[in-house]
Amino acid sequence: MNQPTLLRPPHPLEVRVLTRRFEYPRTEPVWLDEYLRTEGYQALRKALDLTPEALVDEVKKSCLRGRGGAGFPTGMKWSFVDRKSPKPKYIVVNADEGEPGTCKDRILMGFDPHRLIEGCLIAGRAIGSNRGWIYIRGEYRVYIDIMDRAIEEAYANGYLGDNVLGTGWSFHLSTHTGAGSYECGEETALLESLEGKRGNPRLKPPFPAVSGAFQCPTVVNNVETYSAVPDIILKGGEWYAGLGTPRNGGTRLVGLSGHLNTPGVYEVPLGMNLLTIVNELGGGVWKGRKLKAIIPGGSSSPVLKADECDIPADYDSFAKAGTMLGSGATVVLDDQTDMVRVLARLMSFYAHESCGWCIPCREGTAWLKKITQRLDSGVGASKDIDLIDQISNSMMGRTFCPLGDAAAMPAMAIARKFRDEIEAKIQSTQAFVPAPGTRPLVVL
Amino acid sequence: MPDPITLTINGTQVSCAPGTLVIEAAKQNGIEIPAFCYYEGFSLQAACRMCLVEVEKMPKLQPGCTLPAAEGMVVHTESPKVVEARKSTLEFLLTNHPLDCPVCDKGGECELQDMVFRYGAGESRFTEIKHHVDEKQWSPAVYYDGSRCILCYRCVRVCDEGIGVTALGLSFRGVSAQIVPNRGDHLECDECGWCIDVCPVGALTSGTYRYQSRPWEMNHVGTVCTHCSDGCKTTLSVRNGQVLRANNRDRSGVNGEFLCVKGRFGFDFVHHKERLQSPLLRKNGQLQPVSWSEALSAVAAKFSEVKARNGQFGVIGSTRTTNEENYLLQKFVREGLGSKNIDHHRTGDVVTLLDALKGRTGALATVNDLYTAKAALVLGADLSQQHPLLAYQLRANSRHHRSATYLVTPGPVREEQFATKALRSNPGEELNLLPQLSDDLKQHASLTVLYNAAIKGDAVRQLVAFCDSLGIEVKYLPLVDYSNSRGALDMGLLPDLAPGYQPLRNPGLNAAQILSSPDLDVLWVVGANPLKSASLAGEKAFVVVQDLFLTETAQRADVVFPAASAYEKSGTVTNTTGEVQRLKHGPKVMGTKSDLDIIALLARQLNIDLGPTTPDRIFEQIRKTVHGYNVALPVVATGGAAPTTPVNGGVPVAVNPSLISPSGDTLFTSGTLGRYSKMLAKVMEAPGQLFKA
Amino acid sequence: MTFSPELEARFAKMIGNYPPGRQKGALIPMLLYAQDEVGSMTPDLIQEVSRRLKVTPLEIEEVIGYYTMLAREPRGKHHIQVCTNVSCQARGGEELFAHACSRLGLHNKEKSADGQFSIEEVECMGACSWAPAIQVNYDFYYDMTPEKFDKLIDSLRQMQ
């Protein structure tokens, strides 16, 4: 299972917890033997001696927040599951990594698959579950194969199965492949997909903790979230929390992409300055150019202009800056970037991925795509920029699931922050000028 | 009943039961929250976002269709923020909507039109190219125009949750998302057409109605479907004497909005070109069109002659004519002709049941009871095929109230989808399996038992005895097959029972005896076709037939009167649950007369005084004289269903089981009428496929 | 319809991964793995999966219409997927896609006459830090350039 090394040499600013086994230039995943040599499954052994309540408490103490995008406190999420429910409880791993800019889960699955399995086992123990699924996007067949092999190893060595490490507790885990849908990264759409249906999101409440996979109580967390759990259990929640800033515990993986000298996936403590991340870890903007903007948390997060980027990268600071940490995907754009083109590309993405369930998202994303593509081709008027803003406003907070917001937020941010640039593009490439006082019925 | 909760909607304090959705709480208090996807009785979608309302202390607008009302909640349904949201949602909807209202069937009754009319979005800022998909024909009954579709999923839900067919699904995604039929490019389903009715826009259109008319050009006449015995209200939309469509959007009657393929599309027999429009008289061995007076005179002469010499009459009445017609017919025969030889095609044993239940009250179930019953037991019947409304009620009951359903049938039936237990028996041996269910049945506080013609004669008494042994409250629903089968029984179209099941001392000949009597002088058939399946032994018999078409029986007739169908006349009919409903005449077919008029004209010709002969006055007579029919007049007059309460004394006659035979009709057949419905013939999926689920 | 023994073994195991009576859960994996072997969502395949999982063809159609990886028509032996989403766009993904199209003489979602190649512009495939990236069937190729692409095509051609 050789893969090109996607790893970077460790950077002094990194704090390697989840990635501590990722010595450069590793190409082979950490299989069971090596995992066991490096404290593997020690956390599980410890967890099996603890009560489920103690496990949840430890995770609560760690201030671990969901690494998929929404940043919901993990321990609290686990505590919502009624362990006494007569229904089976399920563990679901969201490995449907699809947010543009995000490429961290593949690294975790591709190089340290047993860490994820161990995280699932501990989470399963904490909520009284006997079954879990790792929902991996279909394009990641190579990582599905790696996870499958690791799961096989775990079964063969008693870490998974009807009698986990001789405790009599059974826990089963398997991979489940998606087949091409960004929307399935939304947890309830993912659960629908897991049940063999279209990835249309579900009505909430009930939340998955009450009625999730197959209508049973379910914890859905991101790969990175589960992967952080073994170290939290082994070294304590307080230790983990201490790595980050208050209320923003631990380290997190940032995927640096775009116009950088050394893009890659790095592990940093929460709260590191965004510019430090970009300039130090990312090696600064490529080709000696200047920074224009950063999309700081995956394509759905509102863009930050260069002068807004000097802030700590944690959930709360980002929220204060009007954006979000999201999936930790940081897309850096240099000063020669055509923001209209970026906007058009993003809008075409959301229009393509909208499931079509609700009206504002279905029609809004399609409309935004058409306007922005038209603007990108130089046809338009400055009132189109207002229209983008208004359409985004009409979508914000009114769609069935967060995808509508995910499309509206970047659209609104780019339209507002780069209005001059859009205007300039319209002016410079005016291809169609309607007669004064008239407007075209259809603009081709 | 838990304590009601109080909330404020638009400044008014209202109260509702806990758990009520805001949209319903508002509706109960006369406040409309607009919605496309919300559809009462079906699963919640929260997809259209039209019902977003402002709730104080909640940052985002909330969908009223999924938000349960809570104590102290303050809701604004028409605040500027809400109105702006609605307007923008409508603008979104219109971006890819073709706006082809001038050629859209839905124009004038389109919810999208109405919403835009109310909330604006009249001026669009959308200047891009619209997403277009071509219209498709899915079946003879159903067309789909994806461009008009707003994806409210009503059609998907009524088909799946309502009917249990699940013929519609959702495919593709984003702006390309579309409703798709179950067979790739076409539908294979019950063809009930409910999806068309519930469509808030013109995305689903009807094969019969499309491009026919504007809704405001038609008169909408609420009458009762003339096909099966469930007694669904169907509203005929009539223009220039022609029925153009049928539906029941006003949800009146026992069926609410439900109609099957026959109720919605099976009306076209009315305008079939083979409808008889002139009396026929056999001359030189040939049936020839004659005037009414000539035909009436010929019949009157024959009747007088036979009556004078005390000859033998045989009268076979109809299971589709009105109660008034049946009443007048038996009166004519018994009082005017002095004959007792009257019968009809019996399709279920009500008589034995009434006798077995003597002395009890409230032991007969209504259509609504099937929706509220705690448990139901179905014996022998393929309800989805033969009693689609009753099947729908049971399904809705199971869906909404988690009621229990037990089945004992000779083959697979669709109700197995939600049945608690389903047993297969040999045909006619359903009763033998009942002991297997007794422990289950006993667990329920009450039970409704439906049985069809498989249980007749003594078997009915055994059934009642079994149910008595359960020690729980049991209601019965004897199934009969035609639209007024029950009325024919109630009105005494029987050789041994007068109206209201009053036993007669010396019974006359029954249908089989009439047909096999070599001495028969006159056979008078009103709206029936006995010679389709039997032969007439009386070779010299003078045969008079009243019918819509030249049926097998009419072809043997000496005189044929062109009769009006149930859709062309007034009167009442009684459905299989014994509920009386009113027919209202919609279309008019030239040259025909109602059976009531024909009988009355014959009586006049024969100088027989039958008393009043208008439907209303006969119904008054029925109310006064027929046991169980003293129903509340306003209920019937306003188009409601009034349950009759037949005898609770004994009916001391022995029922000959061989006289009871089922119609054998399926969802797509309807005796003679079905043969003359082109639409039913076109959409027919599987003729005669009972018990094939 | 039968599949290879490996796939049959996979399916047998897969169905056991879902709660009793909820084997529909295996639908999407089963379709995707079967497609790898069969090529596309053929009527036979739909019927077979419908039978095995006790789902209706309509339920399968709903899913096929939704998931972009499920193909109604067979794709090329080498299905080339070029990401042009924001991270790849920033590093020449769109130019790479244009180059790939012209190199193969194909438009988006077209297949070469010999059935060897098909090309598709795809959304983010999670290879953002190694952009621009492409995927040939399930294999990723990172940090692509037009030159690297041409070499790759040549080597894929030689594999035949």
Residue B216 confidence (pLDDT) above 60: yes
Determine what percent of chain B is predicted with pLDDT higher than 90. Answer: 95
pLDDT of residue B124: 85
Sole residue written with tokens 């489920």: A52
C-alpha distances in Å from residue A78, one per residue of A215, A226, A395, A408, C11: 17, 12, 31, 30, 32
Put simply, the answer to whether A358 touches B47 (Cβ < 8 Å) is yes
Is residue A88 within 8 Å of residue A129, measured between CB atoms?
yes
Put simply, the answer to whether C57 touches B182 (Cβ < 8 Å) is yes
Sheet holding B5-9, edge to edge: B12-16, B5-9, B74-76, B52-55, B62-63
> In the predicted model, what is the mean pLDDT of residues B392-416?
97
Altogether, the residues listed in chain A come to a count of 444
Q: For the segment B148-191, what is each residue's pLDDT rounded down to a tens digit?
A: 999 999 999 999 999 999 999 999 999 999 999 999 999 999 99
> In the predicted model, what is the mean pLDDT of residues A48-57?
97
> In the predicted model, what is the mean pLDDT of residues B390-408?
98
Put simply, the answer to whether A367 touches B126 (Cβ < 8 Å) is yes
Average pLDDT of every residue of chain B? 95
Pair (B452, B564) in one structural domain: no
Residue A266 confidence (pLDDT) above 50: yes
Put simply, the answer to whether B184 touches C59 (Cβ < 8 Å) is no
Query: Among B479, B502, B525, which residue terminates a domain?
Result: B479
Pair (B566, B675) in one structural domain: yes
pLDDT of residue B688: 53
Residue B566 counted as domain residue: yes
Residues 363-392 of A with CB under 8 A from B: 363-367, 370-371, 374, 387, 390
pLDDT of residue A248: 77
- Which ipTM value was assigned to this complex? 0.97
Pair (A190, A288) in one structural domain: no
Sole residue written with tokens 């169905």: C15
Pair (A362, A222) in one structural domain: no
Pair (B54, B120) in one structural domain: no
Pair (A223, A282) in one structural domain: no
pLDDT of residue C160: 67
Pair (B195, B57) in one structural domain: no
Average pLDDT of every residue of chain C? 96
Pair (B252, B304) in one structural domain: no
**Tokens found for residue B622:** 């029925």
Pair (A320, A194) in one structural domain: no
pLDDT of residue A120: 98
Pair (B671, B530) in one structural domain: yes
Residue A435 confidence (pLDDT) above 70: no
Q: Quote the number of domains for chain A.
A: 3
pLDDT of residue C85: 97
Domain of residue B392 covers 351-479
Disruptive mutation site among A203, A215, A362 for chain B (greatest number of B CBs within 10 Å): A362
Sole residue written with tokens 């507790």: A169
Pair (A224, A125) in one structural domain: yes
Residue A399 counted as domain residue: yes
pLDDT of residue A437: 65
Residue A3 counted as domain residue: no
Domain of residue A329 covers 251-334
Residue B690 counted as domain residue: no
Pair (A52, A192) in one structural domain: yes
pLDDT of residue A1: 47
Query: Among A288, A312, A334, which residue terminates a domain?
Result: A334
Residue A434 confidence (pLDDT) above 60: no
From the CA of A377, how many Å to the nearest CA of chain B?
14
CATH number at residue A370: 1.20.1440.230
**Tokens found for residue B319:** 């299971």
Residue A329 counted as domain residue: yes
> In the predicted model, what is the mean pLDDT of residues B315-334?
98
pLDDT of residue B649: 86
pLDDT of residue A178: 97
- Cα(B103)–Cα(B109) distance, integer angstroms: 13
Which chains have 3+ CB pairs within 8 A of C? A, B
Pair (B247, B292) in one structural domain: no
Q: Which residues of B touch A363 (CB under 8 A)?
A: 92-93, 95-96, 175
Where are the extended beta strands (E) located within B25-88?
52-55, 62-63, 74-76
Contact C61/B at CB under 8 A = yes
Put simply, the answer to whether A341 touches C69 (Cβ < 8 Å) is no
Pair (B587, B462) in one structural domain: no
CATH number at residue B205: 3.30.70.20
Q: Are strands A131-136 and A90-95 parallel, antiparallel or unpaired?
A: parallel
Is residue A100 within 8 Å of residue C123, measured between CB atoms?
yes
pLDDT of residue B1: 67
Determine what percent of chain B is predicted with pLDDT higher than 70. Answer: 99
CATH number at residue B504: 3.40.50.740
CATH topology of domain C78-159: Glutaredoxin (3.40.30)
Of C55, C69, C123, which is closest to A138 when you measure between CB atoms? C69
Pair (B550, B431) in one structural domain: no
Q: Which residues of C touch A152 (CB under 8 A)?
A: none
Q: Quote the number of domains for chain B.
A: 4
Pair (B474, B548) in one structural domain: no
From the CA of A339, how many Å to the nearest CA of chain C?
11
**Residue A3 binned pLDDT confidence (cut-offs 50, 70, 90):** low
Q: Closest residue of A to C137, CA-based?
A: A139
C-alpha distances in Å from residue B625, one per residue of B7, B327, B621, B631, B648: 52, 11, 6, 12, 16
Q: For the segment B108-160, what is each residue's pLDDT rounded down to a tens digit?
A: 999 999 999 999 877 889 999 999 999 999 999 999 999 999 999 999 999 99
> In the predicted model, what is the mean pLDDT of residues B325-344?
97
Residue A319 confidence (pLDDT) above 50: yes
CATH number at residue A289: 3.10.20.600
Q: For the segment B12-48, what is each residue's pLDDT rounded down to a tens digit?
A: 999 999 999 999 999 999 999 999 999 999 999 999 9
Put simply, the answer to whether A353 touches B174 (Cβ < 8 Å) is yes
pLDDT of residue A323: 96
> In the predicted model, what is the mean pLDDT of residues C80-89?
97
Residue A14 counted as domain residue: no
Q: For the segment B410-467, what is each residue's pLDDT rounded down to a tens digit?
A: 999 999 999 999 999 999 899 999 999 999 999 999 999 999 999 999 999 999 999 9
**Residue B685 binned pLDDT confidence (cut-offs 50, 70, 90):** low
Q: Closest residue of B to A375, CA-based?
A: B128
Residue A109 counted as domain residue: yes
Put simply, the answer to whether A179 touches C32 (Cβ < 8 Å) is yes
Put simply, the answer to whether A203 touches B66 (Cβ < 8 Å) is yes
> In the predicted model, what is the mean pLDDT of residues A16-28?
93
Is residue A118 within 8 Å of residue A233, measured between CB atoms?
no
Pair (A229, A291) in one structural domain: no
- Cα(B46)–Cα(B68) distance, integer angstroms: 13
Contact C55/B at CB under 8 A = no
> In the predicted model, what is the mean pLDDT of residues A125-150?
98
Residues 87-116 of C with CB under 8 A from A: 87, 89-91, 94
From the CA of B171, how many Å to the nearest CA of chain C?
4
Residue A359 confidence (pLDDT) above 80: yes
Instruction: For domain C5-66, give the CATH number.
Output: 1.10.10
Pair (A60, A182) in one structural domain: yes
pLDDT of residue B95: 95
Contact B301/A at CB under 8 A = no
pLDDT of residue B139: 94
Q: Which residues of A touch C63 (CB under 8 A)?
A: 179, 196-198
Pair (B254, B106) in one structural domain: yes
Pair (A304, A259) in one structural domain: yes
pLDDT of residue A430: 57
- Cα(A123)–Cα(A75) distance, integer angstroms: 10
CATH number at residue B19: 3.10.20.740
Q: In degrees to the nearest 10, what's the CA dihedral of B63, B65, B67, B69?
A: 130
pLDDT of residue A69: 86
Query: Among A242, A267, A289, which residue terminates a domain?
Result: A242
CB-based contacts of A291, cutoff 8 Å, min separation 6: A278, A285, A306, A309, A332, A333, A334, A335
Put simply, the answer to whether B49 touches A198 (Cβ < 8 Å) is no
The domain limits of chain C are 5-66, 78-159
> In the predicted model, what is the mean pLDDT of residues B301-307?
97
**Tokens found for residue B269:** 């027999």
Put simply, the answer to whether A139 touches C125 (Cβ < 8 Å) is yes
Residue A228 confidence (pLDDT) above 80: yes
What b/e string do you get for B38-47 counting C-beta neighbours within 10 Å, with b at 16 or more?
bbeebeebbb
Put simply, the answer to whether B172 touches C57 (Cβ < 8 Å) is no
**Residue B57 carries which side chain, given as an amino acid letter?**
K
pLDDT of residue B61: 97
Residue A263 counted as domain residue: yes
